[in-house]
Amino acid sequence: MLKHIYTLVTTIALVLTVGATTALAAGGGNIPPQQEWSFKSSSPHWDTEQMFRGYKVATQVCLSCHSFKYIKHRDMMKLGFSEEQVTKLAKELDMGVDDLFISPLSAENAQMAYGTEVPDLSLMNLARPHGADYTAALLTGYNNPPKGFSVPAGKSYNAYFPGNVIAMPPPLTMADQVEYPESGPQASVEQMSRDIAAFIEWTGEPTQIERKNLGVFVLLYLLIFTILSYFLMKRIWLGVKKKK
């Protein structure tokens, strides 16, 4: 019996390993480097200034091709922006606070220009392994192709895109392409990439901070409950033993 279980476990482990390896090999994209994110830190939170910078990149660069169809300016009030601030931001873009972020690029024009669809970015970090790390790496991954690697006309080489040939022209190509607040970091390509990746994390799961904090609360509750029930058990058994 034990031998059978052993064989079964080994087989499952082997299948999983082979599966994972082939999946990686088929992907053809490099593993994105892990970055530090405020929403993944030991006290998870949205970095409001980073969110603002990410919003700038989103609306000044990405929105010309991509929609973020699940968000509107009003949602940003949950990040700590006032109603006045979001109204002003929306107005600068000729939008209302309750308008969704829809790209002016239509699906047909995208198909004509890029030969593929331009995906909505709202949920992109959730849809890809490595989430924000992947998005940030993708935007900085437009390297020269290795020798002998041919890139079809109109496409670009990208170290992190599966298959390495991407239809998106490099969207962030030079420092200060987006105007950043003077008080913060310089708008280098790396910085802009991190900021927009963080912003997309928020558009994908705006409630994740509450969820994580709730998780800690639930764990604490369970811990206290366990300790209490331990002592309760001891008391009950004490009574039982005495009766004997």
- In the complex with ligand HEC, the residue whose CB is nearer, 121 or 187, is 121
Which range touches ligand HEC (CB under 6 A), out of 30-38, 59-67, 77-85, 90-98? 59-67
- The least distance separating ligand HEC from the CB of residue 2, rounded to whole angstroms, comes to 45
Which range touches ligand HEC (CB under 6 A), out of 61-69, 84-92, 203-211, 215-223? 61-69
Query: Binding of ligand HEC at residue 159 (CB under 6 A)?
Result: no
Per-residue tokens: 87: 């109204």
Q: Which residues contact 8 (CB under 8 A, 6 or more apart)?
A: none
Query: Binding of ligand HEC at residue 166 (CB under 6 A)?
Result: yes
CA distance 201 to 131: 8
Q: How many CA atoms lie within 13 A of 106 on its CB side?
A: 3
Q: CB of 129 within 8 A of CB of 190?
A: no
- The least distance separating ligand HEC from the CB of residue 222, rounded to whole angstroms, comes to 37
CB atoms within 10 A of CB 105: 16
- The least distance separating ligand HEC from the CB of residue 127, rounded to whole angstroms, comes to 8
Among 51, 62, 71, 132, binds ligand HEC (CB under 6 A): 62
- Applying CB under 6 A, the site for ligand HEC has a residue count of 24
Among 51, 65, 86, 198, binds ligand HEC (CB under 6 A): 65
- The least distance separating ligand HEC from the CB of residue 14, rounded to whole angstroms, comes to 30
Among 54, 131, 171, 204, binds ligand HEC (CB under 6 A): 171
Query: Binding of ligand HEC at residue 167 (CB under 6 A)?
Result: yes
Q: What kind and span of H or E run contains 100? A: strand 100-101
CA distance 48 to 46: 6
Bridge partners (DSSP) of residue 163 are: none
Per-residue tokens: 177: 């392409």
CA angle at 108 for the pair 106 and 111, rounded to the nearest 5°: 110
- In the complex with ligand HEC, the residue whose CB is nearer, 33 or 169, is 169
CA angle at 58 for the pair 47 and 179, rounded to the nearest 5°: 80
Among 71, 168, 189, 198, binds ligand HEC (CB under 6 A): 168
**Nearest CA to 122 among 72, 157, 187, 74?**
72
Task: Give 194-236 as a DSSP string.
Answer: HHHHHHHHHHH-TTHHHHHHHHHHHHHHHHHHHHHHHHHHHHH
Query: Binding of ligand HEC at residue 187 (CB under 6 A)?
Result: no
Instruction: Identify residues 73-132 at the interface with ligand HEC (CB under 6 A).
Output: 114, 116, 118-119, 121, 124, 128
- In the complex with ligand HEC, the residue whose CB is nearer, 40 or 128, is 128
> Contact residues for ligand HEC (CB under 6 A)?
57, 61-62, 64-66, 114, 116, 118-119, 121, 124, 128, 135, 138-139, 161, 166-169, 171-172, 196
